[in-house]
Amino acid sequence: ILVCGGDGTVSWILSALEKMGMERWPPVGILPLGTGNDLARIHGWGGGYNNESLLMILAQLSDAYVSLLDRWELSVEDRKGRIRSNKTFMNYLGVGVDAQAALQVHMLRESKPKLFFSRAVNKAWYAAAGAEDAIKASCAELSQKITLVADGVEVPLPSDSQGIIFLNIDSYSGGVPMWSHGSRPQRKMRDRRYSDGDLHKRSISPTKRRRPTVSSSENNDITNEVDLEDDFELSDAEKLARITACDMPSSCQDGMLDVVSIRGTFHLGQIRVGLSNAQLICQCKEATIMLKKKMAIQIDGEPWRQNTCKLHVKRKKDPAIMLHRSPDEGGGVETEMANLLDWAEERHIIDKHVHSMLMKEYSRRIESKARQRRVKSQENLFFPMKRPIFSSNGAL
């Protein structure tokens, strides 16, 4: 399937596929026609369509390889404990100032749609809404208005936080790498609810912070049992230290959400142009956010104003099957490996269960290799600047 549109259109298509109850979803590629196009960016399709040849795009689609994408469910629970609504997101969930700016733009778009006619103009309206909220500071003292519980442990928020964002992908609001470029939390902030003695009575081994290496949904029960055993053995202080270590790279298929904090719309603007960084809060498998006051919420750019409630976030069982653009013309080994697994299942060499396990683990490893290549490429970019400059005769 080739989806021509933005992240909202992709979400709509994936929701339709889910309702169809198919045994295996067809892979989805993206022709980015939206404003942010974050899903298209992380899957190699770029930030927008620039009149490229459609035949060339279809050729790239045929050469693309399969990549998995976690999908998350947001449940809204009222004061009486009743679930009022369930929503699905794939990119991010925002609570506070970023959602407030998105809500203002959404209301303007609903009332005056003619003002939104291009990506550049749309982004300008977001900037204007952010500037207005920077003056009002409508989400100041966020830590007094919400409570965050991640993997069963209450996580303290920075006193200057005006918004928290739960990231499934490391591309926010048009390509901003919030997690990989974020700043790690100060230990004092992470541990302020616990004494040093409590935190360091037992050291936390790296293996207890390690993410599962097999992300198969068929193995979720086994993985969860292991995680529950580890969590049962740890004190609350140790659990907090584990999830706030923020020592794992962002991944869209590891069953983890990356949580960051922003200090306001001005800070968010600085992050977008590379003058500042988001503050890393924690990484978790599920979360509960208790809203003590009415507040703006957004998922994947869809904002609304939410009354006092509990928000529950957990991963959905089935990931989306996406197509990632291949860096090699004609398709690389990634494409061939996916075709090989399909071939093996069609000829009953492997069954559906084994195909699913191998595909998910293969997708995870390809993502890890691609991340390593990006890091190495960035290092090579700056390496010539660090080398000493020699004269023609070899003297410095």
For the chain, what percent of residues have pLDDT higher than 70? 76
Q: Are 105 and 161 within one domain?
A: yes
Q: Which of 310, 316, 278 lies closest to 148, judged by CA?
A: 310
Give the confidence band of 326 by pLDDT, cuts at 50, 70, 90: confident
pLDDT at 389: 45
What average pLDDT score do residues 349-364 get? 89
Q: Is 392 domain-assigned?
A: no
Least confident segment among 15-24, 27-36, 380-389? 380-389
Better pLDDT: 124 or 394? 124
Residue where a domain terminates, one of 284, 300, 315: 315
| Gap between the Cα atoms of 97 and 278, Å rounded | 13
Q: Is 393 domain-assigned?
A: no
Residue 23 has φ and ψ, to the nearest 5°, of -65, -40
Measure Cα distances from 77 to 17, 59, 126, 287 in Å: 26, 46, 30, 13
Given a cut of 90, is residue 77 above it in pLDDT?
yes
Q: Are 375 and 245 within one domain?
A: no
Q: Are 205 and 146 within one domain?
A: yes
pLDDT at 55: 92
Least confident segment among 61-75, 98-112, 158-172, 351-365? 98-112
Least confident segment among 13-22, 214-223, 353-362? 214-223
Q: Is 0.85 topped by the overall pTM?
A: no
Give the confidence band of 105 by pLDDT, cuts at 50, 70, 90: confident
Tokens of 154: 């209450």
Residue where a domain terminates, one of 315, 339, 362: 315
pLDDT at 379: 58
pLDDT at 224: 46
Residue where a domain terminates, one of 286, 315, 344: 315
Residue 226 structural domain:
72-315
Tokens of 325: 């653009």
End-to-end CA distance of the chain: 58
Q: Is 58 domain-assigned?
A: yes
Least confident segment among 41-55, 123-137, 331-345, 379-393? 379-393
Q: Is 65 domain-assigned?
A: yes
CB neighbours of 15 closer than 8 A, spacing ≥ 6?
88
Q: What is the pLDDT of residues 277-288, one digit of tens each?
A: 999 999 999 999
Exposure string (b/e) for 350-374, b if CB count within 10 Å is 16 or more?
Answer: beeeebbbbbbbbbbebbeeeeeee
Given a cut of 60, is residue 53 above it in pLDDT?
yes
pLDDT at 225: 41
Q: What is the pLDDT of residues 212-245, one digit of tens each?
A: 444 433 444 434 444 544 566 788 888 999 999 9
Give the confidence band of 117 by pLDDT, cuts at 50, 70, 90: low
Q: Are 243 and 372 within one domain?
A: no
Q: Is 98 domain-assigned?
A: yes
Q: Are 136 and 269 within one domain?
A: yes
pLDDT at 27: 93
Given a cut of 80, is residue 191 above it in pLDDT?
no
Give the confidence band of 380 by pLDDT, cuts at 50, 70, 90: low
pLDDT at 233: 76
pLDDT at 342: 87
Give the confidence band of 119 by pLDDT, cuts at 50, 70, 90: low
Q: Are 82 and 211 within one domain?
A: yes
Q: Are 220 and 165 within one domain?
A: yes
pLDDT at 154: 96
Alpha carbon dihedral 173, 174, 179, 180, in 10-degree steps, equals: -170
Q: Is 395 domain-assigned?
A: no
Give the confidence band of 250 by pLDDT, cuts at 50, 70, 90: very high
Q: Is 276 domain-assigned?
A: yes
Q: Are 62 and 170 within one domain?
A: no
Q: What is the pLDDT of residues 258-270, one digit of tens each?
A: 999 999 888 888 8
| Gap between the Cα atoms of 163 and 344, Å rounded | 48
Q: Are 295 and 347 within one domain?
A: no
Q: How many domains does the chain have?
A: 2
What average pLDDT score do residues 300-313 get? 93
Q: What is the CATH number of the domain that holds 215?
A: 2.60.200.40
Least confident segment among 11-20, 102-111, 113-122, 145-154? 113-122
Q: Is 224 domain-assigned?
A: yes
| Gap between the Cα atoms of 122 and 115, Å rounded | 8
Residue pair 247/190 in contact (Cβ under 8 Å)? The answer is: no
Alpha carbon dihedral 354, 360, 150, 245, in 10-degree steps, equals: 120
Q: Are 60 and 137 within one domain?
A: no
Residue pair 58/45 in contact (Cβ under 8 Å)? The answer is: no
Tokens of 230: 């580890």
Given a cut of 80, is residue 125 above it in pLDDT?
no
What average pLDDT score do residues 333-357 get? 87
Q: Are 118 and 188 within one domain?
A: yes
Q: Where are the alpha helices (DSSP H) in the chain?
A: 7-20, 38-42, 54-63, 97-111, 119-136, 142-145, 187-191, 196-199, 220-233, 236-243, 265-272, 333-346, 352-386
pLDDT at 335: 80
Q: Are 222 and 349 within one domain?
A: no
Least confident segment among 121-130, 175-184, 271-280, 364-373? 121-130
Query: How remote is the C-alpha of 201 from its chain's centroid?
Result: 34
3-state class (DSSP) for residue 93? strand
Given a cut of 60, is residue 48 above it in pLDDT?
yes
Residue pair 85/306 in contact (Cβ under 8 Å)? The answer is: no
What average pLDDT score do residues 318-336 get? 83
How many beta carbons lie within 10 A of that of residue 279, not counting itself? 24
